[in-house]
Amino acid sequence: MVTFDQALPALLIALPVAGSCVLLACGRVVPRLLIDVIGTGTALAGTVLAGWLLYETGTGTVTSWSGGWEPRPGLTVGIVLVADRLGAAMALLIALLTTTALLFGWHYFDNLHAHYPALVLLFATGMTGFALTGDLFDMFVFFELMGVAAYALTGLKIEEPESVQAGLNFGVINSLGAYLCLFGIGLLYARTGQLGLAQLGTAVATRAGDALVLAAFVLIATGWLVKAPNPTAVVTPVRTTPVSAAVGASSHHGANRSRLPIFGNYPASLAANGTESARWAGISSSLAARLCCVP
Amino acid sequence: MTIFPYVIAGWLLLIGIYGVVRSTHLVHTVVCVSIGQSGTYVLLLAIGYQKDTSAPIFGSVNPPGSPVVDPVVQAMALTDIVVSATVTALLLALVVQIAKRHGTVEPDQLHALRG
């Protein structure tokens, strides 16, 4: 039996998806006020749930196996969501930023279509999933979901030449970065046979000088570096949509999160030659990208 | 294990990136992104491949427990293909809008943004 706190991570992902589906289904017929209320209401509900999840993680990590597919000896097929304190705090930050971005949209857009709140909610879904997943491949999937919503948000004002060009630039470069990451993920799986972050951390800890593991981490780190600092894409939406702060924050968080669980267990010898500097390069470049969003 | 499929996977990714860099038409750019992603399909399937085994579908011919190729990477490749379809559709839609707003689909002719 799944308890309510175990259902929280899954609810945090399902709720915004449901909200954006409702918005897209009836966005053409309902008045503007109702669109705003549904969008912001969903985001607010998500914020409350994220706060609750953060409270629950105070007593220990919340783990949720989707559909009750818990691992048994010799059989691990489930999809896992893991909310530790950092992940839950990030989910709360994401939900708060989403609510703020949607509130800002109330008066920012003269003629708002349901696309904007629906895309922002999908974007929030991708980010939340990214913060809460316990599995390297699902991180890639959630990243792509977040990415696709972000490309569409960047090109939201399709009547403006800058907006569509920025959307395409962002889409192409981000996708190439994601494929480099996926190459790294594939190589890690090939070497260790694991995709779960916790299992991967244990498996990698015993393989200090393994060239293939090193190559995989170089690919993943390069992929994040390609994706995180993308000034043309990140700066432009400042003028087009009020979500750039969230884009910056998410890529910054992404750059960190991908490293924290695995690199934490990685031997210091490897961290000394390259990985550590890559990590700092990632953090500083994504901070720079975020600073670009401030004006 | 043979190294051949891994070389193909790396080559597809690199030729895709090369195509994006050297592209003179935005539709060509988007197709090159897809080609780069095809490299990841080849890599994933190569990782899970085992000689003389069948697809991971169990039935009367193939009772549970008999050797099959790794289903995890097959599921990953399938997800990857879905992601690719979404990204390609969205990028092509943006190309259509760029053609309308800029009147050109040549990357070097787009002057709205200066990096």
pLDDT given for residue B115 in this prediction: 53
Min Cα separation B61/chain A (Å)? 22
Q: DSSP assignment of A171-215, as one string?
A: HHHHHHHHHHHHHHHHHHHHHHS--BHHHHHHHHHT-TT-HHHHH
Q: Collect all residues of chain A within an 8 Å Cβ-Cβ radius of residue B27.
A: none
Mean pLDDT value across chain B: 88
pLDDT given for residue B114 in this prediction: 59
Q: Which of A81, A93, A193 is nearest to A139 (CA)?
A: A81
pLDDT given for residue A2 in this prediction: 65
DSSP A135: B
* Alpha carbon distance A264, B31 (integer Å): 38
* Alpha carbon distance A140, B22 (integer Å): 27
Residue A188: closest CA among chain B residues belongs to which residue?
B47
* A12, A87 Cβ separation under 8 angstroms: no
* A188, A213 Cβ separation under 8 angstroms: yes
DSSP-based three-state secondary structure for A19: helix
* B40, A185 Cβ separation under 8 angstroms: no
- Most B CBs within 10 A among A182, A187, A226, A238, hence the mutation to make, goes to A182
* Alpha carbon distance A187, A215 (integer Å): 8
**The model's pTM:** 0.79
Inform me whether the C-beta atom of residue B42 falls under 8 Å from chain A C-beta atoms: no
Contacts of A93 (CB under 8 A, 6+ apart): A249
* Alpha carbon distance B83, A144 (integer Å): 7
pLDDT given for residue A201 in this prediction: 83
Lowest mean pLDDT among A169-183, A195-209, A229-243, B41-55: A229-243
pLDDT given for residue A292 in this prediction: 40
pLDDT given for residue A254 in this prediction: 44
pLDDT given for residue B113 in this prediction: 65
Inform me whether the C-beta atom of residue B112 falls under 8 Å from chain A C-beta atoms: yes
* Alpha carbon distance A225, A289 (integer Å): 11
* Alpha carbon distance A221, A131 (integer Å): 17
* Alpha carbon distance B16, B29 (integer Å): 9
Strand partners, A63: A82
Surface of A (151-210) touching B: CB under 8 A: 151-152, 155, 158-162, 164-169, 171-172, 175-176, 179-180, 182-183, 186-187, 189-190, 195
Q: Collect all residues of chain B within an 8 Å Cβ-Cβ radius of residue A147.
A: 87
* Alpha carbon distance A163, A233 (integer Å): 9
pLDDT given for residue A228 in this prediction: 59
Q: Collect all residues of chain A within an 8 Å Cβ-Cβ radius of residue B44.
A: 186
pLDDT tens across A106-133, in order?
888 777 678 889 999 999 999 999 899 9
Surface of A (209-228) touching B: CB under 8 A: none
DSSP A58: T
Residue B112: closest CA among chain A residues belongs to which residue?
A162
Contact A175 B9 (CB under 8 A): no
Lowest mean pLDDT among A243-252, A270-279, A282-291: A270-279
Contact A144 B83 (CB under 8 A): yes
**pLDDT at B97 > cutoff 80:** yes
Contact A183 B39 (CB under 8 A): yes
Measured between CB atoms, which of B16, B43, B97 is closest to A158? B97
Contacts of A140 (CB under 8 A, 6+ apart): A178, A181, A182, A185
pLDDT tens across A14-72, in order?
999 999 999 999 888 888 888 889 999 999 999 999 999 999 898 888 888 877 777 77
Residue B83: closest CA among chain A residues belongs to which residue?
A144
Per-residue burial over B34-50, b if 16 or more Cβ lie within 10 Å, else e, is: bbbbbbbbbbbbbbbee
**Residue range A227-236: average pLDDT?**
49
B43 token code pair: 């890599």
